[in-house]
Amino acid sequence: MSIPTSNLGGLTVSAQGLGCMGMSQSYGKGDWDESIAVIHRAIDLGVTLLDTANIYGVGHNEVLVGRALVGRRDEVQLATKFGIDLSLGWNDRRTHGTHAYVKKACEDSLVRLGVEHIDLYYMHRPPEDAEIEETVGAMAELVDEGKVLHLGLSEVDDAQLRRAVAVHPIAAVQSEYSIFTRDPETTVLPAMREHDVGLVPFSPLGRGFLTGTLDRSSLPSSDFRANNPRFVGEAGDANERIAAAVVDLAERKGVPAAQVALAWVQAQAPRLGVSVVPIPGTKRTKWLEQNVGAFDVAFADDELATLDGLGEQTQGARY
Active-site residue list: 56
Q: CB of 177 within 8 A of CB of 183?
A: yes
Q: CB of 177 within 8 A of CB of 201?
A: yes
**CA angle, 97 as apex, 62 and 48 as ends, to 5°?**
35
Q: 88-111 burial, b if ≥16 CB within 10 A, otherwise e? A: eeeeeeebbbeeebbbebbeebbe
Q: CB of 57 within 8 A of CB of 283?
A: no
Per residue, what are the HEC states of 160-206?
HHHHHHCCCCCCEEEEECECCECCHHHHCHHHHHHCCCEEEEECCCH
Q: CB of 309 within 8 A of CB of 264?
A: no
**CA angle, 35 as apex, 31 and 41 as ends, to 5°?**
150
3-state class (DSSP) for residue 304:
helix
The residues, ordered by sequence, that sit 6+ positions from 26 with a Cβ below 8 Å of its Cβ are 223, 224
